[in-house]
Amino acid sequence: MKILIVDDFSTMRRIIKNLLRDLGFTNTAEADDGSTALPMLQNGRFDFLITDWNMPGMSGIDLLKAVRADEQLKKMPILMVTAEAKRDQIIEAAQAGVNGYVVKPFTAAVLKEKIEKIFERVDS
């Protein structure tokens, strides 16, 4: 299981990376915005994407749409982990095909629950 973590703050990437390691996912890579993440996804055989929304350059919602529009990547499970909390944003993310949405600040338990739920669905 190879996971890409996209967030413009290194602190947040590190926190998510550590939580993932705790859940047994040790194969992770990091990107600081959508425009760095997209080529990594296209070349890197990732199984799962965790992305922030608000980032300089390419935002998380645009990355989500770009992934869904890409023939090779469109089935990739995507979890959004973001401070963006407007209803309209959550609706837009859902319409764009996000698999889970976690608002910051979040707990390890919430992250774990959402990731497990996504994998349950993907497996079934």
Is residue 61 a contact point for another protein (CB under 8 A)? Answer: yes
Kindly determine how many residues on this chain lie close enough to bind another protein according to the rule CB under 8 A. 26
Nearest to 67 by CA among 116, 94, 20, 34: 34
Q: Are 118 and 20 in contact (CB under 8 A)?
A: no
Compute CA 28 distance to the chain's CA centroid, rounded to the nearest angstrom.
12
Is residue 59 a contact point for another protein (CB under 8 A)? Answer: yes
Q: How far is CA 44 from CA 74, 106, 118, in A?
A: 14, 28, 21
Identify which of residues 35 and 42 has a Cβ nearer to another protein in the complex: 35
Q: Write down the least CB distance from residue 24 to another protein, Å.
A: 14
Q: Taking CB under 8 A as the criterion, which residues in 88-107 touch another protein?
A: 88-92, 94, 101-104, 106
Is residue 18 a contact point for another protein (CB under 8 A)? Answer: yes
Q: Which of 24, 43, 45, 87 binds another protein (CB under 8 A)?
A: 87
Helix/strand/coil for 100: strand
Q: Write down the least CB distance from residue 32 to another protein, Å.
A: 14
Residues that bind another protein (CB under 8 A): 10-11, 14-15, 18, 53-54, 59, 61, 83-92, 94, 101-104, 106, 110
